[in-house]
Amino acid sequence: MATRTRRRVVKALIAPALALGATIGLASAPASAAVWNSCDQWGNTSLNGYTLYNNIWGSGAGAQCIWANSGTNWGVNANHPNTGGIKSYPNSKKVINKSITSLGSLSSSYNVTVPSSGAYNSSYDIWDTDYDYEIMLWMNYNGAVGPIGTSQGSVTLGGHSWNVYKGSNGANEVFSFLRTSDSNSGNVNMLPILKWIKDTKGWMGNETIGDVQFGFEITSSSGGLDFRTNNLTVSSS
């Protein structure tokens, strides 16, 4: 897998504006009447405890529209050119705001429908409140995409087997866990992963976990491709 430049997107609303030209807004939202949709670069809304972002942030991006029936059932139609570099990370975010040691549990269920073409990953993006550390969980991926950093071997945690990578994008440390086989639905227990990073590897301290995001990191989707989150839940105690 080719190494790619990582982005640091904390919140779409504070990311710098990009010259995407007149292409934004040309992608189409689904014909069915969603409760919310947007073709805006930084389009966002909050629904039943989750915040949705269209989040078109990469250079050379094309058109993308997001729609949602709820914070846990949503999707995008994206038409990004067949060029390198991440173009967008449309996602749904749940705020946790608990330290690793104070968490009794942190888990999620996911069910997605993704295209057979294009270059993308379906991934969780877990951040500490200071945005010093980024933990990515790639549940599936396709095309010319790859994690930042160097291989740290393989591990089985949280109900899945992963290939682990560690690196930095210049703004924060990035720990990437790539599932060893693609999965479009299932459950993942995140707390053992966080404890493994903290206690077993010593890569970070007792950080307060802020955002748990889930979405599609899209590099290319030429011609217009649909990405759907059929169901998503993020739970903590």
> CA end-to-end span of the chain, whole Å?
36
pTM above 0.85, yes or no: yes
What pLDDT, on the 0 to 100 scale, is given for residue 39? Answer: 98
Mean pLDDT over 212-216 rounds to 98
Cα–Cα dist 217/184, whole Å: 15
219 closest CA partner among 73, 99, 105, 117:
117
Task: Report the greatest alpha carbon distance in the chain.
Answer: 49
Question: What pLDDT digit, counting tens, does each position of 74-133 carry?
Answer: 999 999 999 999 999 999 999 999 999 999 999 999 999 999 999 999 999 999 999 999
Q: Do residues 79 and 221 make contact, with C-beta atoms less than 8 angstroms apart?
A: yes
What pLDDT, on the 0 to 100 scale, is given for residue 33? Answer: 67
132-163: buried (b, 16+ CB within 10 Å) or exposed (e) per residue? ebbbbbbbbbbbebebbbeebeebebbebebb
What pLDDT, on the 0 to 100 scale, is given for residue 8? Answer: 39
Percent of the chain predicted with pLDDT > 90: 86
User: Where residue 40 falls among pLDDT bands split at 50, 70, 90?
Assistant: very high
- Asked if the model's pLDDT at residue 204 lies above 90, the reply is yes
Poorest-pLDDT segment among 6-10, 39-43, 52-56: 6-10
63-70 and 185-189 beta bridge pairing? unpaired
Q: Do residues 175 and 166 make contact, with C-beta atoms less than 8 angstroms apart?
A: yes
Cα–Cα dist 166/198, whole Å: 13
Question: What pLDDT digit, counting tens, does each position of 43-80 carry?
Answer: 999 999 999 999 999 999 999 999 999 999 999 999 99
The mean predicted confidence, pLDDT, of the chain is 90
232 closest CA partner among 99, 12, 49, 22:
49
Q: What domains does the chain contain, in order, with CATH numbers? A: 12-236 (2.60.120.180)
Q: Do residues 118 and 218 make contact, with C-beta atoms less than 8 angstroms apart?
A: yes
What pLDDT, on the 0 to 100 scale, is given for residue 208? Answer: 98
- Asked if the model's pLDDT at residue 28 lies above 90, the reply is no
Which stretch of DSSP H or E encloses residue 154? strand 150-157
3-class DSSP assignment, residue 99: strand
- Tokens at 94, concatenated: 């749940």
